[in-house]
Chains A and B, each alone.
Chain A
């Protein structure tokens, strides 16, 4: 309930933040929303020496399309995503996921980028970004790089981010003829997912599946990509048969543990059912309008 002592810095620019991280990154934690970090501090599961609060850096709240990408700044909160008409119209996977993150109070502060950097295998945004083929942007004094979402997570709460790097955003490719969904089984609002599936389906001009993205939550050591399912969908006629097969393959891609939320079998079943249902929803959307 009571955090341990730490130093606190509130830089006014990205440059300032990068300077701090270059010097003290190994013992530092970036504070954006704080909805994952502060509970860790209160429970004394983490004891960084310095907190780098980026909330006073201007211009980090971008949520807009530019040059073929949807750009999401590091201070875009879950709530911003929940209220965004742009996401509702063109990025339904995100729009459906946002309101299901935690609870409304947490959503008012927590950030998409912070959630990705935190890399909880039960985190929702990781699966969404995998399904969307998104890239995380990271900057340090050494330069800037883009990390594909599917390559970002290396283990529970572990990413390829270096201690001196600051996440400066996420970018999602803009696409046409695309639908999506995020189906999440949670025991109550605010609980982590028992299992969840992020789906993105892009149709070709011939009406067949051009590309699919399927990201899984809470059924492995990290968010997972159901690549076999994605491959099977490519070129397929969208319909029950293809979706059922994808569901089976997604379930096989999952490696859940058995715990109070359910046995591994149960969670795989949820993955199967939600993949099927999600694909059905996404296909209907993609046929109707050209979102991403």
Chain B
């Protein structure tokens, strides 16, 4: 099947089997390896991408379903060479260690801040409860998301 997906703002077309998972289309088809695979029962969130701005598990979504839709991956967070405030915050707050869950975490955070610009700690923990991390114990991830929120709302004044 021929599909056309807008990925990080650019239209990408390919011939794919219906059974091809979106995560594999991104990683192997488009060589965007920033989205990771961590499990096989849709239980970890490492594969999170934004589908029309909404965070979903790209391992539990077919590439063919994304035909005509917009997908944002971690590679899309950069603005030219400028880091997104979320990326900056994760670095400043030591919100990552091995980096494997980080792309998914940041995209989930981006969606959260779009609808809740001043999340409480509880809001953040709730929003990322579908994204597993083994390294950080979540403490600094929460700090990073709240720091990004502060930076984003600060820059709006």
Contacts and interface: CB of A to CB of B under 8 A. Distances in A.
- Chain A in direct contact with chain B (Cβ < 8 angstroms): yes
Interface of A: 1-8, 10, 31, 34-35, 38-39, 41-43, 51, 53, 55, 79, 102-106, 108-109, 189-190
Interface of B: 1, 17-19, 21, 37, 40-43, 45, 48, 54-57, 59-62, 64-65, 108, 126-131
Contacts of B55: 104-105, 108
A192 to B, nearest CB: 11
Query: Which of A2, A39, A104, A105 gathers most chain B CB within 10 Å?
Result: A105
5 contacts: A34-B65, A102-B130, A103-B129, A104-B129, A105-B108
Contacts of A105: 45, 48, 55-57, 108, 130-131
A51 B37 CA distance: 24
* SS class, residues of chain A in contact with chain B: loop
Given A6-B19, A8-B64, A51-B18, A104 B56 contact: no
A189 B128 CA distance: 10
Contacts of A35: 42, 60
A189 B43 CA distance: 10
Given A8-B18, A34-B61, A104 B130 contact: yes
A106 B126 contact: no
A108 B57 CA distance: 9
A65 B61 CA distance: 31
B57 A7 contact: no
B18 A42 contact: no
Given A7-B18, A34-B65, A43-B41, A109 B130 contact: no
A109 B56 contact: yes
Given A8-B62, A109-B56, A109-B61, A104 B21 contact: no
A106 B130 contact: yes
Given A6-B19, A43-B40, A105-B130, 15 more contacts: A5-B19, A6-B18, A8-B64, A31-B62, A34-B60, A38-B60, A39-B41, A39-B42, A42-B21, A42-B59, A53-B65, A104-B128, A108-B54, A109-B57, A190-B129
A261 B127 CA distance: 25
A55 B131 CA distance: 25
Contact of B42 (A6, A8, A10, A38): A38
